[in-house]
Structure 1
Amino acid sequence: MKKRLEDKVAIVTGGGSGIGEAICKKFANEGARVVVAGFPEDSVEEVANEITKAGGKAVAFTGDLSVEANARKCVELTVQEFGKLDILINNAGVFPEVNLVTDYTEEAFDYMLRHNNKTTFLMSKAALPELQKTKGNIVIAGSEAGMVGIPQNAAYGGTKAFNHAFMRGLAVEQAQFGVRCNCVGPGPIDTAWTHASTGPMDKEMEKTNKIATPIGRLGTPEEVANVYLFLASAEASYVTGAVYMVDGGITLGKGPIGEKADSSMKQEPEGDLDLKHSMDGHTSIRE
């Protein structure tokens, strides 16, 4: 049986941990050659090596992709290594602070604008000439917070709402060149971001994420990667300008509805990927 991304070449930003690691490994399993891109501090080399050892093809690119020269270099490396570019996954993002707007730091806000929005813009700008050649596609990381707004996450949600609107503009603009553009909007996913011990949330928020989700649990990185795979594949040939929510229903949920979820829903699927870096995502503000 032909693999769903056979002969495709993909860049995955933020590919060293969390959802990004799952996307990289899912795509590699489906036949894609993958450029795992991210901060030098992230596990991008490890993820690329793990894919290679499992029989896939991957290379790492390390650098701050909110710098235009680095975004161009990432695309150039991809074409140099694999001859083309079919898919850009703008997954990279940061979640440095949870706070009321009156207390939210300017440092955290500027950091999010750089890595949630500027990186998405610059990587899209750099990749589009290559994607137009291959009639490829872009999938961008949106969020539940960008759809409905969340208290103490208003600034973060604002950056994700930009990504939703930016994607829609790209979808309309780039259709004339044969390029599709979509978003995936995760809700609470089991990564470093959703645990008080590894991210900016407190224990109460960590608990609320589960009970406010109709399915009654956190999602897994692989469950999100499954939707990225669909949107990046030819199966989504008639899908552009869409935001696909992968949120366990939390965007629609009212109150502690997750406590009533059927036990079958609360059970995580086993999954196929060997994920080692789900909790490695950095949430701190770096210079």
Structure 2
Amino acid sequence: MGNRLKGKVAIVTGGGAGIGEAISKKFAKEGAMVVVAGFPEDPVEEVAKEIEEEGGTAIPFTADLSLLANAESCVQLAVKQYGKLDILINNAGTFPEVNLLSDFSEEAFDYLLKNNIRTAFAMSKAALPELQKTKGNIVCAGSESGALGIAQNAPYGGTKGFMHAFAKGLAAEQAQKGVRCNIVAPGPIDTGWTHKDTGPMDKQMEQMVTQGTLMGRRGTPEEVANVYLFLASDEASYVTGAIFPVDGGTLIAKGPAGDQAAQSMKVQPDGQLKLKHSKESHTSIRK
């Protein structure tokens, strides 16, 4: 166990699978008391139990966090259980459909707005009064697509562009209250979203996402969680309103750059976390 977040209380939305699981377990490993939050269908209870079995401290919270009343209940649980709230991780999101805009369903668009935007709005609104007391911070899930856009999923990139501007706006207005806010912008990560068998991508798109990185591979959830850890910790005390890409060089890649990467770059690092739910996410598909 580390101590970079010792004594801190954190809520991680979408905390039961994919990148969220890695964040929850990384934070607990570094001493945080974690509220693992997500839909009832997500394995949040399992992740909280696994954290406890590894010597960490965590409790689950299951609800639709796009509803302000549920978001407020989540924050109240953290304060009731642990006495305060220091960190909010707005990680929850969805990747429901891959389609040209002319064929993109209105149902999928509404689902994106609900899970990628409204959840972050509701959770931030509910958490800010407590974060102002502790001089805490928020870290939001952006995306390289929020800067570049993404073909065959323009609405998804649009929601992430909103998240980038939303977090910067929070940073600007909340500095006077002592609250920092930053953005982590992943590229293709090794979760259910980027595999054709577990997400909406087809075989061609699955290949393109790795070819479009300088490193020629997907990132791991733990590699993303490492950056969340830094931004949420006191080590980032002079960082606010910043976007941190964790994309293997996607933003500066030209063409199929991944094909030219050194073999050593294409090998995922061995992680320290025991991640069991990397490919699970009920928010990756519409209900």
Q: TM-score, normalised by structure 2?
A: 0.99
SS of the residue 1:158 aligns to: helix
**Once the 2 structures are TM-superposed, how far is the Cα of residue 105 of structure 1 from its aligned partner?**
0.5
1:187 aligns with 2:164: no
1:44 is matched with which residue? 44
Bigger drift between 120-129 and 2-11 goes to 2-11
1:226 is matched with which residue? 226
Q: Which amino acid aligns with 1:162?
A: F
- The 2-side partners of 1:32 and 1:7 are apart by 6
**Once the 2 structures are TM-superposed, how far is the Cα of residue 254 of structure 1 from its aligned partner?**
1.0
- The 2-side partners of 1:221 and 1:202 are apart by 21
- The 2-side partners of 1:70 and 1:93 are apart by 16
Kindly indicate whether the alpha-carbon contact (under 8 Å) linking 1:38 and 1:63 is maintained by their aligned counterparts in 2.
yes
Mapping 1:206-225, distance limit 5 Å: 206-225=206-225
Mapping 1:1-287, distance limit 5 Å: 3-282=3-282, 283-286=284-287
SS of the residue 1:28 aligns to: helix
Q: Which amino acid aligns with 2:99?
A: N
Q: Which amino acid aligns with 1:284?
A: I
Deviations 1:220-239 (A, max 9, x none): 00000000000000111110
SS of the residue 1:155 aligns to: helix
Provide runs of 4+ in structure 1 moved above 2 Å: none
Q: How many pairs align?
A: 286
Q: Which amino acid aligns with 1:161?
A: G
- The 2-side partners of 1:141 and 1:191 are apart by 15
Q: Which amino acid aligns with 1:119?
A: T
- The 1-side partners of 2:98 and 2:242 are apart by 28
**Once the 2 structures are TM-superposed, how far is the Cα of residue 23 of structure 1 from its aligned partner?**
0.1
- The 2-side partners of 1:115 and 1:212 are apart by 27
> Identity of counterpart residues, as a percentage?
69
Deviations 1:197-240 (A, max 9, x none): 01000000001111111101000000000000000001111100
SS of the residue 2:40 aligns to: coil
- The 1-side partners of 2:168 and 2:48 are apart by 31
Q: Which amino acid aligns with 1:67?
A: L
SS of the residue 1:77 aligns to: helix
- The 2-side partners of 1:23 and 1:192 are apart by 16
- The 1-side partners of 2:41 and 2:137 are apart by 28
Deviations 1:159-208 (A, max 9, x none): 00000000010000000010000000000000000000010000000011
**Once the 2 structures are TM-superposed, how far is the Cα of residue 2 of structure 1 from its aligned partner?**
6.5
SS of the residue 2:245 aligns to: strand
Gaps of 5+ in 2: none
Kindly indicate whether the alpha-carbon contact (under 8 Å) linking 1:145 and 1:153 is maintained by their aligned counterparts in 2.
no
- The 2-side partners of 1:211 and 1:188 are apart by 10
Kindly indicate whether the alpha-carbon contact (under 8 Å) linking 2:2 and 2:29 is maintained by their aligned counterparts in 1.
no
Deviations 1:96-128 (A, max 9, x none): 001111110000000000000000000000000
Deviations 1:131-163 (A, max 9, x none): 000000000000011011111111000000000
